[in-house]
Amino acid sequence: MKTARPAARPGADRDGRGKVSSQLLAARPSVTQQGARQALAGAEAQALAFGVGMSVAVVDAAGHLLVFTRDDEALLVTIDAAIAKARTAAQAQVVTKVLQAFVDTQCPSLIAVRALMPASGGVPVLHQGRVIGGVGASGGSLEQDHAVAQAGADALAQLLPA
């Protein structure tokens, strides 16, 4: 006795998978652990040059923590701030310094969004125009936080293929 096979979906290969399933998945590049370590090294070098105790975090494209460090002199509150800045930069796909200016001048109610950290010190990591991660820094002035995060993003960007 033959058993009936379900009809293949339009555009599917013979086993009912293949083409259709590949159309349902998005390929999203993301920074790797090795790349995150490179970004962290660049950020740490800039923080050391400032002589300020800072925390630095690097997240993947989805905002999940890959690497983190806190200088012995950094305040404990900088831990959560650095992670939140990195996550905001990656997920909102914006330099948090720009987001801070927007909140300050046009939309102060955004400060109530718990998932956002609209404070200088978060920079998205870009590759071929797409956000692949984020670097966050906390512990210095607003300008120092931004410069440290930018140094981390730049350190990784220099190593990525064009």
Indicate the pTM of the whole model: 0.84
User: Does residue 16 belong to any structural domain of this protein?
Assistant: no
Query: Structural domain of residue 140, as residue ranges?
Result: 28-157
Alpha carbons 115 and 112: distance in angstroms, whole number: 9
| CATH, residue 133 | 3.30.450.150
What distances in angstroms separate CA 83 from CA 13, 65, 89, one per listed residue?
A: 44, 7, 10
Pairing of strands 55-60, 122-127: unpaired
Tell me the DSSP string of 126-147.
Answer: EETTEEEEEEEEESS-HHHHHH
Residue pair 157/55 in contact by the 8 Å Cβ criterion: no
User: Does residue 86 belong to any structural domain of this protein?
Assistant: yes
Number of domains in the chain: 1
pLDDT, tens digit only, all 162 positions of the chain:
555 555 555 554 445 555 556 678 778 899 999 999 999 999 999 999 999 999 999 999 999 999 999 999 999 999 999 999 999 999 999 999 999 999 999 998 888 888 889 999 999 999 999 999 999 999 999 999 999 999 999 999 999 998
